Structure 1
Amino acid sequence: MIRRLTLGIVAPLLLSSSLLSATAHAAGYPQQREADWIAPSFTFHTGETLNNFKLHYITVGDPANPAVLLLHGTYRSGADMVGKDFAGEMLGPGQPLDASKYYLIMPDAIGAGKSAKPSDGLRAKFPQYNYADMVLAQYRLVTEGLGIKHLRLVMGNSMGGMQTWMWGETYPAMMDALVPMASQPIEMASRNWMMRRVLVESIKQDPAWNGGNYSTQPPSLRLANTMFGIATAGGTLAYQALAPTRAQADKIVDDRLAAPVTADANDFIYQWGSSSDFNAMPNLARIQAPLLAINSADDERNPPETGTMTAALKQLKNAELYLIPASAETRGHGTTSFSKFYARQVGDFLKALPQR
């Protein structure tokens, strides 16, 4: 039985199956704008349907230019892709994704940023979503909301990287190229999943969570997030350089524990739990587009020494891996947030693609 849910979003005018409403015009890159795509309904993999479904996004550049889809990491937002760490060496004049030559699309995933999420009002009654739902929502935004039939590139980081593998499998003729970063196509398992499971359970087992019906954010949210961040991102060499003494290590922990809590516990649980059934391996052979995978040698969640990525890439006809060398300057799983480590490689990869 399909359960239909409605969020309090007013959609007075529908354009075909969606409403495109611009919400802001930001300075920085050519024709940068924010908008919402609102569909009358969206059906999740569980069969649940959410009415007045909203997906927020940022675009940069001229819609007449080749389109590029950029996908953010877990519990982040599309705004990451116009931040200086990524955009600073990617979107400027003469850079790999020169905003004057491409039309860049940066959606907020389901459950994150300004897109539909549990904290909008449904709390723990919000439909349980997974990465397949996120990719479907992105596809509908691109095709129905923006009227784009083909993408020059799909590129994503961490969660967005895993979804990039899925884009290549689900819509193999839709793009010219794929760049998944800080990810692998293998089943969500091993330490990567175990740490996510503990992260979610540590909040759910906090009595203050109260089945998702809390009045203030559970204290476990701050502690769990701090522990997870230190344990699964940051880089071994980087932390040794940043905190070679106990006093310096304590200072980092104290600063993180003192930072304001801006997350919502239900949103947090949904976001991290949404990766539970990820596994791109069974359909890897469907990928047709040339692929450049970018990982960091010190990635705590995707350790290269397992050899799983190398084995996976052998199943593809046109794929290569750029492994960023570990150093005190890299940040483990967080390394690929900084385009300075791979901008040249992406530029060379795009230049070698056939022109369309």
Structure 2
Amino acid sequence: MAHRMLSGWISLFLLFLSPLAYAQPLQPQEGDWRPAEFRFHTGETRNDLRLHYYTLGDRSKPAVLLLHGTNQPVSALLADGFGGELFGPGQPLDVAKHFIIIPESIGSGKSSKPSDGLRTQFPHYNYDDMVLAQYRLVTEALGIKHLRLVMGYSMGGMHTWLWGQKYPDMMDALVPMASQPNALSGRNWMLRRMLIESIKRDPAWKNGDYQTQPPALQTANIMFSIATTGGTLAYQSKAPTRELADKLVDARLAAPVTSDANDFIYIWNSSADYNAMSGLERIKAPMLVINAADDERNPVEIGSLEPALKTVKQASLFLIPASAETSGHGTMMSARFYRTALGEFLAKAPSHQ
């Protein structure tokens, strides 16, 4: 009897402990890939390019390529709201069943970027260069010939559209999030242009030869973030008075500046010639587009996404309704809104491993 009681207490203890174990921070492996030569779309070549990357899970498992947003740290993809909803036991991208690859794109994180020393002499890269570097990392450095899934957020979502048409036999499934295949236009591009101009017109920028970061870097970044990420209903809920709105702004102004002005200009300008519309018919893999109805950068009311989806052989849209709990363009960082839809989509996607 005592033995059975002890066994029961141990089972109860383990049941209590297991959620805590799942809540522990994910610890990825890190690495650098340095190709002997890399040719940019401009024709420039470098023999010192560095692409930093993170991996989770066992390399023998089906591989998932996860692509980050503009200026987004990889830690955001490992946080509870995203990785905590997708990478755990029984979740759609369970790290026990998948090998997850998260590269830091050219110009981001620990990958090569202007602030490494070249400043404005760094090659002016675009999204095609970023995707090519990702492809070479996956195939040459990691030796992976097929991917279970390519999935990305914002800039990474736009990269996902390009992956599907540039390497159509490479993956089983595609999930671009918070993105569209259309060339940038309207408010989306106008605000990106203003980001760049705000810094370049700051006398402290000195044509990229500054010693301290230009003040416009911080204010332009905060302005763009408030204007294009956060959600109208969510901001109104968080700041229903001017006093509360001022507190939100003051908190951002008080935060340290962690970006570099040249890096900032380069990465935002890298989207200037993006246009995935012409190659949509080349996409073969089933695609699930996940967008938010209150996405400020990809407004649903312009109606440009639906015609594009009709060009893709197997594509569907999962649109997250706007609410005080969503955060506009940033909604994808709360995977609880689409975790079930993603799991159902992957369960139906054929495997060609």
What is the TM-score normalised by the length of structure 2? 0.92
User: Separation in 1 of the partners of 2:76 and 2:33?
Assistant: 19
CA contact (8 A) 2:172 2:351 kept: no
Q: Name the residue aligned to 1:210.
A: 206
Q: Name the residue aligned to 2:134.
A: 138
User: Separation in 2 of the partners of 1:253 and 1:130?
Assistant: 32
Q: Name the residue aligned to 2:217.
A: 221
Letter in 2 for 1:340: R
Unaligned residue ranges in structure 1 (runs of 5+): 1-26
1:182 to 150, 159, 178: 178
How many residues in Structure 1 have an aligned counterpart in Structure 2?
329
2:226 to 215, 226, 230: 230
Q: Name the residue aligned to 1:343.
A: 339
Q: Secondary structure at the match of 1:176?
A: strand
User: Separation in 1 of the partners of 2:73 and 2:254?
Assistant: 23
Pairwise CA distance, 1:39 = 1.2
User: Separation in 2 of the partners of 1:58 and 1:178?
Assistant: 20
Pairwise CA distance, 1:28 = 4.3
Letter in 1 for 2:132: L
The list of structure 1 runs, each at least 4 consecutive aligned residues, that deviate by more than 6 angstroms after superposition, is none
CA contact (8 A) 1:157 1:180 kept: yes
Q: Name the residue aligned to 1:57.
A: 53
Q: Name the residue aligned to 2:310.
A: 314
CA contact (8 A) 2:86 2:92 kept: yes
User: Separation in 1 of the partners of 2:82 and 2:217?
Assistant: 27
Pairwise CA distance, 1:340 = 1.1
User: Separation in 2 of the partners of 1:167 and 1:308?
Assistant: 20
Q: Name the residue aligned to 2:20.
A: none
User: Separation in 2 of the partners of 1:328 and 1:208?
Assistant: 39
Q: Secondary structure at the match of 1:152?
A: strand
User: Separation in 2 of the partners of 1:283 and 1:349?
Assistant: 23
Q: Name the residue aligned to 1:20.
A: none
Whichever of the two has the greater Rg, that structure is: 2
1:47 to 43, 57, 68: 43
Say which structure is richer in helix.
Answer: 2
User: Separation in 2 of the partners of 1:288 and 1:42?
Assistant: 28
String of CA shifts for 1:6-56, please: whole Å, max 9, x gaps.
xxxxxxxxxxxxxxxxxxxxx8448x3011111122110001112221000
1:200 corresponds to 2:234: no
Q: Name the residue aligned to 2:70.
A: 74
Pairwise CA distance, 1:316 = 1.3
User: Separation in 2 of the partners of 1:127 and 1:62?
Assistant: 35
Pairwise CA distance, 1:355 = 3.3
What is the TM-score normalised by the length of structure 1? 0.91
CA RMSD of aligned residues (A): 1.0
User: Separation in 1 of the partners of 2:210 and 2:26?
Assistant: 40
User: Separation in 1 of the partners of 2:301 and 2:74?
Assistant: 31
Unaligned residue ranges in structure 2 (runs of 5+): 1-23
The share of aligned pairs that are identical, in percent, is 64
Q: Name the residue aligned to 2:15.
A: none
User: Separation in 2 of the partners of 1:65 and 1:249?
Assistant: 47
1:156 corresponds to 2:156: no
CA contact (8 A) 1:29 1:99 kept: no
CA contact (8 A) 1:35 1:56 kept: yes
